[in-house]
């Protein structure tokens, strides 16, 4: 039988692709960031009450459209984002370098901060210093990533995460927000005492940081969604797809958008719940979760509503959430690092034994994502400060990622599959929004 020249586009979801929010993190779809959704909202609520609700909504909406553009590239082309960025005009690999270098710093700081937050929660329940438990968290997470089998652990963590989220929502309902003050918070007016350094990490990590947004591309290709489900030998240039293929890809883009939207709604509920708890329980007492006491201060949120049961629910939930985040972040960054390093290597080194993907991956996990984060934590010992550094870099990096992917998509896709005017305008708005906050942050740092 003569082979058809038309790629065999899949008519159904590949196995395991029921929802973008249910994909294993090892496939690149990272879960919402615990620093942004458990740690930062109570801090923001304790400091500013409801006055930044408008920023929360803006960030979630804008990041949703940036996520869509990253997913759009992989759905339409079947390739990972870094593959496309490597081919942009200019010096060889320049776009990979501007992605990779900041993320090398973010990976160390974020894992050190997240793991030490898990360690501080463990230290509340189990005898031992936070330094000990932080080392255990990092070693266990890195070990599982090296082994590559942790489906059971992932499901247990997911159940505990849902329990923590439901507990936060129920507690917020019982506490009861000041609806008048909350409604006023949707008016986009920065508070007079706003310190951008305090909220920039929250904006950077909320829903997902720059790295998490890029990992979505890995999830799309691993699950074989859209053009990624077509064998590489059968793929055609997206600019040469016929009307039937374009309609099929549009269907996948709609599904991707729906999945991402549901994920954002879930993040919004959790984030608002923790912000309410911070505004109603911590702000009146002048408590701002900080430094090594972050876990202890967060347990007050549930203890004041549910008593001792709430204390243990928060402790178990925080340990699970931050440990799972350590695991998935190590996995996500080692994939990004391996892919990025391979793409900037000179051709003469590409086949060397030490530059094989498996070697780069293991080196990244053990050295860059386990040993160095632990050493950084031992030196600085402040989870909040480490997460602040990582989140600030992520927030500054987001407009760069958004701008690059928008440019990439306009270069590689037919007009029928590009973002429409409204979606494009929102991605541009994301670039402007995060750039403004980054510049305002720098201005405050220089002016004091």
Q: Residue 156: pLDDT band by 50, 70, 90 thresholds?
A: confident
Q: For residues 425-437, give the mean pLDDT.
A: 94
pLDDT at 33 over 70: no
With beta carbons less than 8 A apart as the criterion, state whether 216 and 226 touch: no
| Cα–Cα distances in angstroms (integers) from residue 37 to residues 45, 139, 267, 435, in the given order | 12, 24, 7, 22
pLDDT at 14 over 50: no
Q: What percent of the chain has pLDDT over 70?
A: 89
Q: Residue 2: pLDDT band by 50, 70, 90 thresholds?
A: very low
Say what the pLDDT of residue 306 is.
85
pLDDT tens by residue, 198-235: 788 888 888 888 998 999 999 888 888 888 887 777 77
Task: For residues 160 and 62, give the distance between their C-alpha atoms in angstroms, rounded to a whole number.
Answer: 29
Q: Residue 12: pLDDT band by 50, 70, 90 thresholds?
A: very low
Q: How many CB atoms lie within 10 A of CB 435?
A: 17
pLDDT tens by residue, 342-387: 999 887 887 788 889 999 999 999 999 999 999 999 998 777 788 8
Say what the pLDDT of residue 238 is.
83
Best CA proximity match to 392, nearest among 23, 82, 35, 122: 35
Best CA proximity match to 120, nearest among 383, 350, 307, 346: 383
Q: Residue 56: pLDDT band by 50, 70, 90 thresholds?
A: very high
Q: Please state whether 5 falls in left (phi above 0), alpha (psi between -120 and 50) or beta.
A: alpha
pLDDT at 409 over 90: yes
Residues in contact with 183: Cβ distance below 8 Å, sequence separation at least 6, in sequence order: none
Say what the pLDDT of residue 448 is.
59
| Cα–Cα distances in angstroms (integers) from residue 100 to residues 106, 109, 177, 383, in the given order | 10, 15, 42, 23
Query: Would you state the structure tokens that stand for residue 143, as one six-digit string?
Result: 């070990």
Say what the pLDDT of residue 55 is.
92
Query: Would you state the structure tokens that stand for residue 20, as one six-digit string?
Result: 């973008």
pLDDT at 111 over 90: yes
With beta carbons less than 8 A apart as the criterion, state whether 274 and 99 touch: no
Task: For residues 140 and 163, give the distance between their C-alpha atoms in angstroms, rounded to a whole number.
Answer: 23
Rounded to two decimals, the pTM is 0.86
Task: For residues 408 and 410, give the distance between their C-alpha atoms in angstroms, rounded to a whole number.
Answer: 6
In the chain, the N- to C-terminal Cα span, in Å, equals: 74
pLDDT at 430 over 60: yes
């Amino acid at each position: 039988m003569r082979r058809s020249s038309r790629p065999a586009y899949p008519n159904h979801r590949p196995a395991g692709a029921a929802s973008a929010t249910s994909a294993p993190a090892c496939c690149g779809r990272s879960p919402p960031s615990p620093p942004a959704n458990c740690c930062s909202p109570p801090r923001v609520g304790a400091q500013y009450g409801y006055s930044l609700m408008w920023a929360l909504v803006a960030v979630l909406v804008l990041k949703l459209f940036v996520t869509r553009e990253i997913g759009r590239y992989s759905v339409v082309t079947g390739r990972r984002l870094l593959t496309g960025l490597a081919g942009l005009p200019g010096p060889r690999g320049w776009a990979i370098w501007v992605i990779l270098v900041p993320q090398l710093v973010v990976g160390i700081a974020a894992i050190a901060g997240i793991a030490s937050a898990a360690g501080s929660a463990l230290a509340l329940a189990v005898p031992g210093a936070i330094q000990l438990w932080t080392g255990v968290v990092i070693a266990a997470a890195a070990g599982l990533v090296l082994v590559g089998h942790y489906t059971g652990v992932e499901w247990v963590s997911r159940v505990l995460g849902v329990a923590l989220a439901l507990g936060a929502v129920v507690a917020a309902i019982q506490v009861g927000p000041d609806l008048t003050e909350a409604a006023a918070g949707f008016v986009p007016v920065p508070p007079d005492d706003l310190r951008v350094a305090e909220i920039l990490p929250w904006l950077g990590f909320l829903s997902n940081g720059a790295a998490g947004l890029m990992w979505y591309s890995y999830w799309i290709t691993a699950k074989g969604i859209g053009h990624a489900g077509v064998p590489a030998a059968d793929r055609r240039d997206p600019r040469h797809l016929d009307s039937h293929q374009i309609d099929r890809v549009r269907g996948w883009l709609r599904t991707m958008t729906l999945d991402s939207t549901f994920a954002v709604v879930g993040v919004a509920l959790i984030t608002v719940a923790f912000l309410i708890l911070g505004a109603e329980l911590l702000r009146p007492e002048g408590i701002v979760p900080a430094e090594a006491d972050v876990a202890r201060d967060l347990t007050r949120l549930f203890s004041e509503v549910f008593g001792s049961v709430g204390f243990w629910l928060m402790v178990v939930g925080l340990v699970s959430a931050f440990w799972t985040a350590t695991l998935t972040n190590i996995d996500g960054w080692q994939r990004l690092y391996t892919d990025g390093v391979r793409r900037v290597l000179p051709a003469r080194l590409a086949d060397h034994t030490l530059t094989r993907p498996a070697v780069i991956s293991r080196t990244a996990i053990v050295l860059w994502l386990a040993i160095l984060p632990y050493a950084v934590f031992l030196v600085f010992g402040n989870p909040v400060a480490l997460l602040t550094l990582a989140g600030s870099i992520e927030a500054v990096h987001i407009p760069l990622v958004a701008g690059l992917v928008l440019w990439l998509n306009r270069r590689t896709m037919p007009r029928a599959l590009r973002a429409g005017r409204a979606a494009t305008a929102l991605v541009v708005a994301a670039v402007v929004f995060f750039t403004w906050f980054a510049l305002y942050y720098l201005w405050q740092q220089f002016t004091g």
